[in-house]
Every structure is written in structure tokens, then in C-alpha cells.
Amino acid sequence: MSLDRNALQHELDLAAEELDKAGHKDLADRVDQYSELLVQAKEKDVPQIHRGLSRVQMEYEQRTKREAAKQDPKAAKAQNAVMSARRASIKRKIAVKRLLRERAANRKKETKKIEALKETKKEESPLKARLSQRISEAEKEFAIAKHRVARLRRIQTEMK
């Protein structure tokens, strides 16, 4: 990929001008230095210039963050609270998804067990087959009732 030095030179000049206007003269001088280096640079020197410009950008971002924190500490505190709430919300969503996956896996296992019981019991007499079917249905109903009781107990403990 070829490097359009003229376009890059123009962009660096604009960046230095903006830094100068913002009151960061030392950073603007460093950008100008890298701009001059770019004029004479060979292909192997370009990554070093890129790293230097990245450091200038990082320094500028750190300074603006510090200035913003000095100007309004309540805003920083509010932003921190918002980010904390977002992180908590994400953690809750992940936990709920994990719980739902585990429940689905348990249901699948129970269904497989019941199906296996039904298949083994088909070879037996019709009376035993009906009895095993009733047992499996009762087990399903019992699992549903157990789940409902657990949910109601959770609600009861939350209400306390």
C-alpha cells in the first residue's frame, strides 16, 4: 500500500493547528516534528512515526480527561455510577442466560430419561405400559410443581 505523503502532511498540519488552538503547544510541536520526519522518512521509519503520533494522541486524551475531571467532579462521579450500573446489568443478563441454559439442559436430560423409560417399557404388557406412562406423567407434573414451589418461595423471600 502506497503512502500518500502530501495528504498525510496536510492532516498532520491540521492536527498541529487544532492542538495549538486548544492550548497544547508542546503536543503541537511534537506533531510538527513528526511531520518533518515524515518528509524525509523511508518505508521502514513509518511505523516509528506512527507510534510517536499515537503517543501524542494518547497524551492529548489523558490531558482532556484530567481537565474534565478537574472541572466537574460530580459529572465524573455520575458517569462512574452509570458505567457501574451498565456493568451490573450486563452481569445480570449473563447470569440469567446461564441459568436458562442450565434449566434447558436439565429439561432435556429429564425428557431423555423419560423417553428411555417409555421405550424400555413398551415391550411389557399394556397394563404395565399404562402404569409407566402415568408414572412418567406424574413425574413431569411433580417437576413442574417443584419448580413452581421454588419460584413462589423465591418471591416470598424477596418480599420479606
Task: Give per-residue pLDDT as tens, 21-42.
Answer: 888 899 889 998 988 888 888 8
> What is the pLDDT at residue 6?
77
**pTM flag (> 0.85):** no
- Extract the runs of DSSP E, i.e. beta strands, from 55-140: none
Judge whether 133 and 118 are in contact, CB under 8 Å: yes
> What is the pLDDT at residue 146?
93
> What is the pLDDT at residue 138?
93
Query: What is the rounded CA–CA span in Å between residue 61 and residue 68?
Result: 11
Q: What residues contact 39, with CB distance under 8 A and at least 6 apart?
A: 5, 9
Q: What residues contact 12, with CB distance under 8 A and at least 6 apart?
A: 31, 32, 34, 35, 38, 53
- What are the mean pLDDT values of the chain's consecutive 10-residue runs (160 residues total)? 70 87 89 87 85 90 82 77 90 93 93 82 71 90 92 88
Judge whether 31 and 53 are in contact, CB under 8 Å: yes
> What is the pLDDT at residue 2?
54
